[in-house]
């Protein structure tokens, strides 16, 4: 029995990923791929079992993590920033990026000079939200075939990739969920929502560049939550003590330390810093306030249809709700059903505008208030209190956040840019924090600030920044030591 005298309880645990159906490998949408049956699922769920990841899973890779740390010592965050700055000045440098996620494989192409223009514009206009000028805007390529044939599928889906691989001015960045060894690009497990890591059978753990048919020496891979973190702030390095929530099919998460270095979720210390109640944020139990909508709705049939949909292999997921279910796309769908609102209709190709936003206000505001409740009752008490990597600011990214940002901003953000506390909930971000003895200290923590919405394709941008640093051998300087 784990956690003292508490009984062992099986609960869904999502580890930095998006929903799919781990029990069925015919069409495995977790990482935008169709998986072969020879990849063995390993059940990995529940608050207690999630705690075993540090005890068992991390021990398995201890030597690999040590090697990663050894290489990281060779570079610093300043080296990372300097390398990226020099790359941004190269007018011929191009960046091809990929985001392998729950809805498939996305890709985009941009020039380093355009990224510099974005960052310059953001620095010159504080509070505004400029967007990147893409050569090729984010494009959905579809579902890749999986472990075998991913490279051939990608070559066929993106014919110009062959020329880009032959062009030394093009670097490649990849954002993906999974247990990534950042120092080498090796992928140890493909994580799926619901806590089923897919482990490689009968072969060494592969390099992501080899899976995708990309040149190893110009391909740089990082965890998806960290990619959103790196790409959300329109700067070379993230602001210090920042938490980035990516609201898409599920909820991705990344944090920076007090210097702005990204905390590595694949390292033992970094994994613990990403936990909420001992479980990675995306898989932590969260009841939410959605029951208030359901009990008052006149759209019972629509609500039942949403609630009966399978999510992360669970036939009745709402009986044991968790963060990615409640605050990801499925939570938004439940709000739309409960309030009789249509799904978003995007007014442009890259999904930046929502043409029917006015008729969606009721659902969008309910969804925003659920986020507000989660942040104040679950997130703030743990991440803004005494812990190694404390949070002082937050940012939102992802398609669901983008589609509902006007309502989220109205509910969550004060005119001064600080997080708004809901009525009836203690403002734990501004009350005095307690010391280890339980007594209040004299120092009250700073109010939690909210950054502007992340730019479109923030994971693709973050992967691109990481690749630019990698082209100069400084990518490992990003990670907190």
- Per residue in 85-109, pLDDT (tens digit) is 999 999 999 999 999 877 789 999 9
Q: What integer pLDDT is reported at residue 446 of this predicted model?
A: 60
Distance, CA of 387 to CA of 429 (rounded, Å): 14
Q: What integer pLDDT is reported at residue 381 of this predicted model?
A: 92
CB 101 within 8 A of CB 248: yes
Q: What is the DSSP letter of 353?
A: -
Q: Which helix (H) or strand (E) holds 393?
A: strand 393-397
Q: What is the DSSP letter of 314?
A: B
Q: pLDDT (tens digit, 9 = 90+) per residue, 37-81?
A: 333 322 223 333 333 333 233 333 434 444 444 444 468 999 999
Q: Dig out the tokens for 92 from the structure.
A: 């011929």
Give me the torsion for CA of 356, 373, 51, 479, rounded to 10°: 70
Q: What integer pLDDT is reported at residue 432 of this predicted model?
A: 43
Q: Which residues of the chain have pLDDT under 70?
A: 1-74, 127, 146-147, 189-203, 346-353, 355, 424-446
Cβ atoms within 10 A of the Cβ of 217, count? 11
Distance, CA of 324 to CA of 335 (rounded, Å): 15
Q: What integer pLDDT is reported at residue 61 of this predicted model?
A: 41
Of 324, 336, 367, which Cα lies nearest the Cα of 19?
Answer: 324
In this structure, the chain runs to a length of 481
pTM of this prediction exceeds 0.85: no
Edge to edge, the sheet with strand 393-397 lists 251-255, 242-247, 393-397, 449-450
Question: Alpha carbon 360 to chain centroid distance?
Answer: 25
Q: What is the DSSP letter of 455?
A: P
Cβ atoms within 10 A of the Cβ of 121, count? 16
The residue whose two tokens read 């992340």 is 454
Cβ atoms within 10 A of the Cβ of 99, count? 29
Dihedral pair phi/psi, residue 153, rounded to 5°: -60, -45
CB 176 within 8 A of CB 150: no
């Amino acid at each position: 029995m784990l956690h003292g005298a508490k009984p062992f309880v099986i609960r869904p645990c999502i580890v930095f990923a998006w929903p799919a159906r781990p029990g069925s490998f015919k069409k495995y949408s977790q990482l935008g791929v169709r998986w072969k049956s020879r990849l063995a699922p390993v059940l990995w769920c529940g608050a207690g079992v999630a705690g075993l990841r540090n005890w068992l899973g991390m021990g398995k890779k201890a030597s690999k993590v040590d090697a990663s740390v050894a290489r990281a010592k060779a570079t610093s965050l300043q080296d990372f920033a300097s390398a990226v700055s020099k790359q941004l000045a190269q007018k011929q440098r191009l960046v091809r990026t990929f985001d392998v996620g729950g809805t498939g494989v996305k890709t985009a192409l941009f020039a380093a000079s355009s990224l510099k223009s974005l960052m310059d514009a953001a620095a010159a206009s504080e509070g505004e939200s400029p967007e990147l000028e893409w050569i090729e805007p984010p494009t959905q390529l579809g579902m890749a075939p999986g472990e075998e044939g991913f490279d051939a599928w990608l070559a066929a889906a993106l014919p110009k990739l062959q020329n880009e691989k032959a062009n030394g001015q093009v670097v490649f960045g990849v954002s993906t969920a999974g247990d990534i060894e950042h120092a080498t690009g090796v992928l140890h497990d493909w994580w799926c929502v619901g806590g089923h890591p897919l482990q490689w059978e009968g072969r060494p753990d592969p390099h992501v560049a080899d899976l995708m048919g990309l040149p190893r020496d110009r391909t740089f891979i990082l965890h998806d939550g960290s990619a959103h973190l790196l790409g959300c702030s329109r700067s070379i390095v993230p602001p210090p003590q920042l938490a980035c929530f990516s609201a898409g099919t599920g909820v991705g998460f990344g944090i920076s330390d007090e210097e702005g270095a990204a905390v590595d979720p694949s390292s033992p210390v970094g994994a613990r810093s990403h936990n909420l109640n001992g479980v990675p944020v995306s898989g932590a139990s969260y009841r939410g306030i959605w029951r208030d909508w359901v009990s008052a709705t006149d759209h019972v049939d629509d609500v039942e249809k949403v609630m009966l949909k399978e999510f992360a292999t669970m036939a009745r997921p709402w009986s044991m709700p968790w963060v990615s279910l409640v605050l990801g796309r499925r939570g938004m769908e439940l709000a739309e059903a409960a309030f009789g609102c249509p799904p978003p209709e995007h007014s442009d190709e890259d999904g930046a505008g929502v043409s029917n936003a006015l008729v969606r206000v009721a659902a969008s505001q309910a969804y925003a208030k659920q986020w507000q409740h989660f942040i104040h009752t679950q997130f703030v008490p743990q991440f803004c209190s005494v812990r190694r990597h404390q949070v002082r600011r937050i940012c939102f990214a992802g398609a669901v956040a983008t589609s509902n940002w006007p309502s989220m901003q109205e509910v969550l953000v004060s005119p001064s840019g600080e997080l708004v506390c809901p009525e009836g909930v203690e403002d734990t971000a501004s009350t005095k924090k307690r010391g280890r003895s339980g007594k209040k200290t004299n120092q009250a923590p700073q109010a939690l600030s909210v950054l502007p919405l992340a730019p479109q394709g923030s994971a693709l941008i973050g992967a691109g920044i990481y690749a630019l640093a990698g082209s100069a051998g400084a990518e490992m300087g990003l990670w907190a030591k």
